Structure 1
Amino acid sequence: MKMLKKMRVVNFVSGVFLVLFCQLQPGYTQYSSDLEATLLSDLFSGNYSTLVRPSSVVTVNVSLMLYTINDLNIVEQSLSVSGMLSMNWFDPRLEWANNSDYSAVQFLFNTEENTWTPAIYVENSVEDLAVINDENMPMRINPNGEVMRTPTGVYKVSCESVVTYYPFDEQTCHIKITTSGYTQGEIDLRFDENAVDLSDYIPNGEWEVASAGGLSSGEQSKSRNGLKYASLSLELKLKRRYLFHTINTIFPVFLMGMLIPFVFKLSIMEEKIGYSLTVLLSYAVYLTLIADHIPSTSVTVCYLSVYLAVILTTSTLSILIVIVEIQVATTKISLSSCTKAFANFLANVCCFKRKWCRNKTDRAPEVRADEFYINRHGILSSKEFVSENTENASDINDSEGISREEFSTLLDSFFFVIFFLFIIIASLTLFVALIIEYQSY
């Protein structure tokens, strides 16, 4: 406790001696508001003019402190961000570091109305092409003549969207800054060490900032009316968060596609038509909803739209096949030789080389006229019973070897496998391509 009191006494005495020492130094002045006002009056009076640039070539360092990504609309192809655009340059007319009379003043503030500022605007803005200014925003002036200007605002710029891998896409947007009035030989735009500052960035729920930076200002210039103007381009690469779209778009689309083959598992022909039309309309509605979220451009093609168009075509073909099956099952015209050959081929493929697509219990027993039939009670039946079974067997198998109902069943089995495999392969191809491309970003 005594030691703490001694340390306090020592610190107090040291502070008093330091103040007295500074007061006795020649040229020392203490800060006051009157002193700052006097300095401000001395610097901005006389020959100072807001229409005269500080030097023959003024180098303006630019950076952007990004606060939020408000919206990236790929339909309108526009990006809206909120941030603070920082600009700083040196004005030798506003330097007082070597003036000991104002050594107590560490910085000054003034507005754009009274200070020379570079005319800078956002070139690819979609709302306002006016010069960036804020008359109420004070600018900070350091003793070495450095002027720091930090206007804040919402910047909405055009952003050409690439929707090939939507919704697993990455968009690259630019905020292009250029000068107005002053050419590149009069104002040179440069990036600060950190072109885009993300220290105060608030994450967006739909987009993730993959990278942010600036292109080299020395290689960029805009030519207007034969004159070159300095230009900068701030680049933002935004990666879409895919969870929402996976649950609400990809997963329902895949499930609806898997419903198409099961139309061939229905036994009633009228139900097949209604089922197919329902799936077709559901896919058409989903295709319309997704089209509303994709820009109407032919520069890039969305793979998801192509996938939906293919599945929609598959659903339409299923309806046509069902109509053909109904025609085959209900017509009384005999089957042609080509149709019989195709039916035999389907019977071999779908039934693993068995002769017909029926269970053995459904077929009539093969008997010979010189044999007796033994029933389940162990009693020998007469030849008349055998001949009766033979006549029933001839009713089941038509003269060509296969009935129209069996042919319709064969078509159902065949097209179920074909459509099922096609949708699985198409879906896996789409998903693998999207995921691989997304992982490569």
Structure 2
Amino acid sequence: MNLNIGQNEKEQLLVSNIWLQMSWTDVNLTWNSSDYGGLTSLRIPSSRIWKPDLLLYNSADPRFDSTYPTNLVVQSNGSIFYLPPGVFTSTCKIDITWFPFDDQLCKLKFGSWSHDMSQVDLDVISNQGDLSTYIENGEWILLGILGRRNKVLYRCCADPFTDVTYTIHIRRRTLYYGINLIIPCLIISSMTLLGFTLPPDSGEKLTLGVTILLSMTVFLLQLTETLPATSDTVSAIATYFASIMLMVAFSVVMTVVVLNFHYKSSEVHELNPLMKKVILQWLAFILNVKRPGAVKPPDRSNRFTSKVYTINGDGIPIPLSPQNQCQNCFTVNNSSLPNLAYPRHPHQVCSCCRKSYPVNGDCLNEEESLMRNFHDKIDSLPGPTVSQSVLAQHQVSRQAKHCACHGKQLDDILNEIQYMTNRLRKEDQVIEILDDWKFAAIVIDRLCFVMFSTFSIISSSICFMSAPHLIV
């Protein structure tokens, strides 16, 4: 049996070019060679003499018998040698469990169709096929051919039939599939990991994940066109592709979650305490993710205590007396803000400033203080006149009126300062909430990178290390 093979995996067919070698003895075809001038052999057409109806039982050819009728070589002693070539198409059940690292066993069953064992008894010439004329195949490696004689009793007949079955052992070459399927799949799956290192602000994070998913779909379709449509087993490469595709699809989902965290609005809700503890503390510590440096908000409680302010209201300046610094120092009592002191200079505070002038709208305390200062000044003069006393009293009254007027203006100014302070404090809180969401997105990105890297390495190792062979 000489053999050249080719396989149609999609249809689970084996196409082989076989030269059958058959020999038998016919006692009716003997002669004495000396009576015929030393003639020892004859070439007789196959249609002129009897030959066994030997057929391929598992043939898938529409003609069923694919042999070419050649001449038979008849010897003078009655032995007949028949060598019909044929291109046989036979069924071969493909086991795709370890595709493309698989071995296949295909059988060729030859036997007489109408003669039982009592009439035609078949036997093998050799247990091994003759591979002297075998031509190497680019996709398959022929490991061996084993022939065996079988005796089978069918329900139709009383006597058993004999057949000769040849088992062809072939192994697939993996270079083609490694270059065109496996390596591109590994590269594409690694691109999934790069997607988790892409900043969310780039705007291409989700696009990359969807593109990788579509690429994996194309490779899966290419694999589907190669393998037979069978549900008996699932190939290792199909399982690997499905796992990688599932990983890519899940990475797209996690990318959506990361983008949702990154662009979360603070007006919706803030990160709950449990998520803060799990993501921002535990996972960040385990994954060694450092939080970006946040700017600490300044202390706004004493921001006005060491600065000098000139406050104007309706175009009327607050009178500041260079001779008496007590008139330039105010202690503002307000329930919603801390005490704010406004000295003319932070280091020029006289002894009389120890007595504060609360601004409450009516300035009665200020007027009493001014009157007290007025009487002290009058007593210090050597000879005060009536006009000087009246003038001083008029000046004190005018300063009291100014104080009452500016006290209301200071209340309005303090309300504005309180509004601005609350607004700045709220902005700081909003920034802190947004920073929490963005940092949570960074931690989830790192977690997905570690998880998918581990999954990719483990799945690839299991798929390739459990294969019977890798490179052929």
TM-score (norm 2): 0.67
Q: Which residue is 2:73 aligned to?
A: 140
1:188-234 Cα shifts (integer Å, max 9, x gaps): 1111025411001111111110111212x1x3325151343222211
The verdict on how the C-alpha distance between 1:395 and 1:220 changes in structure 2, with shifts beyond 3 A counting, is farther
| 1:220 paired to 2:151 | yes
The verdict on how the C-alpha distance between 1:134 and 1:366 changes in structure 2, with shifts beyond 3 A counting, is closer
The verdict on how the C-alpha distance between 1:400 and 1:278 changes in structure 2, with shifts beyond 3 A counting, is closer
| 1:351 paired to 2:288 | yes
Contact 1:119 1:131 in 2 (8 A): no
| Aligned mates of 1:395, 1:425 — CA distance in 2 | 45
**Shift in Å at residue 433 of structure 1?**
1.5
| 1:275 paired to 2:275 | no
Higher percent of residues as strand: 1
Between Structure 1 and Structure 2, whose CA radius of gyration is higher?
2
The verdict on how the C-alpha distance between 1:440 and 1:416 changes in structure 2, with shifts beyond 3 A counting, is closer
1:419-440 Cα shifts (integer Å, max 9, x gaps): 1121122112211112xx1279
**Among candidates 9, 14, 23, match of residue 74 of structure 1:** 9
Contact 1:122 1:178 in 2 (8 A): yes
| 1:257 paired to 2:193 | no
Q: Equivalent residue of 2:121, what SS?
A: strand
Q: Which residue is 2:356 aligned to?
A: none
| Aligned mates of 2:221, 2:64 — CA distance in 1 | 38
| Aligned mates of 1:259, 1:401 — CA distance in 2 | 29
The verdict on how the C-alpha distance between 1:188 and 1:131 changes in structure 2, with shifts beyond 3 A counting, is farther
| Aligned mates of 1:407, 1:417 — CA distance in 2 | 15
**Among candidates 122, 127, 146, match of residue 61 of structure 2:** 127
The verdict on how the C-alpha distance between 1:186 and 1:347 changes in structure 2, with shifts beyond 3 A counting, is same
**Among candidates 275, 278, 292, match of residue 339 of structure 1:** 275
| Aligned mates of 1:84, 1:259 — CA distance in 2 | 52
Counterpart of 1:176, as a letter, is: K
The verdict on how the C-alpha distance between 1:365 and 1:340 changes in structure 2, with shifts beyond 3 A counting, is closer
Q: Equivalent residue of 2:96, what SS?
A: coil
Contact 1:184 1:221 in 2 (8 A): no
1:19-43 Cα shifts (integer Å, max 9, x gaps): xxxxxxxxxxxxxxxxxxxxxxxxx
Q: Equivalent residue of 1:83, what SS?
A: strand
1:296-346 Cα shifts (integer Å, max 9, x gaps): 111111011111111111111111111112222223211112211212111
Gaps of 5+ in 2: 301-345, 347-423
1:219-277 Cα shifts (integer Å, max 9, x gaps): 33251513432222111111111111111111111111111111111113531111110
**Among candidates 66, 90, 96, match of residue 31 of structure 2:** 96
| Aligned mates of 1:439, 1:426 — CA distance in 2 | 16
Q: Which residue is 2:462 aligned to?
A: 429
| Aligned mates of 2:278, 2:119 — CA distance in 1 | 83
| 1:403 paired to 2:403 | no
| Aligned mates of 2:471, 2:116 — CA distance in 1 | 41
| Aligned mates of 1:133, 1:422 — CA distance in 2 | 54
Q: Which residue is 1:40 aligned to?
A: none
Q: Which residue is 2:305 aligned to?
A: none
1:278-299 Cα shifts (integer Å, max 9, x gaps): 0000001111110111111111
Count of aligned residue pairs for this structure pair: 344
What is the correspondence of 1:14-413 to structure 2 with a 5 Å cutoff?
64-66=1-3, 68-69=4-5, 71-96=6-31, 100-102=34-36, 104-128=38-62, 130-131=64-65, 134-135=68-69, 137-215=70-148, 217=149, 219-221=150-152, 223-227=154-158, 228-268=160-200, 270-329=203-262, 330-332=264-266, 333-343=269-279, 344-351=281-288, 356-358=290-292, 362-364=293-295, 395=428, 403-413=436-446
Counterpart of 2:285, as a letter, is: N
Counterpart of 1:220, as a letter, is: K
1:324-381 Cα shifts (integer Å, max 9, x gaps): 12222223211112211212111111227xxx433xxx35589999xxxxxxxxxxxx
| Aligned mates of 2:239, 2:23 — CA distance in 1 | 50
Q: Equivalent residue of 1:72, what SS?
A: strand
| Aligned mates of 1:276, 1:188 — CA distance in 2 | 66
Contact 2:139 2:173 in 1 (8 A): yes
TM-score (norm 1): 0.72
Q: Equivalent residue of 1:338, what SS?
A: helix
| Aligned mates of 1:325, 1:317 — CA distance in 2 | 12
The verdict on how the C-alpha distance between 1:109 and 1:328 changes in structure 2, with shifts beyond 3 A counting, is same
Q: Which residue is 2:388 aligned to?
A: none
Larger CA deviation: 325-334 vs 185-194: 325-334
Contact 1:164 1:300 in 2 (8 A): yes
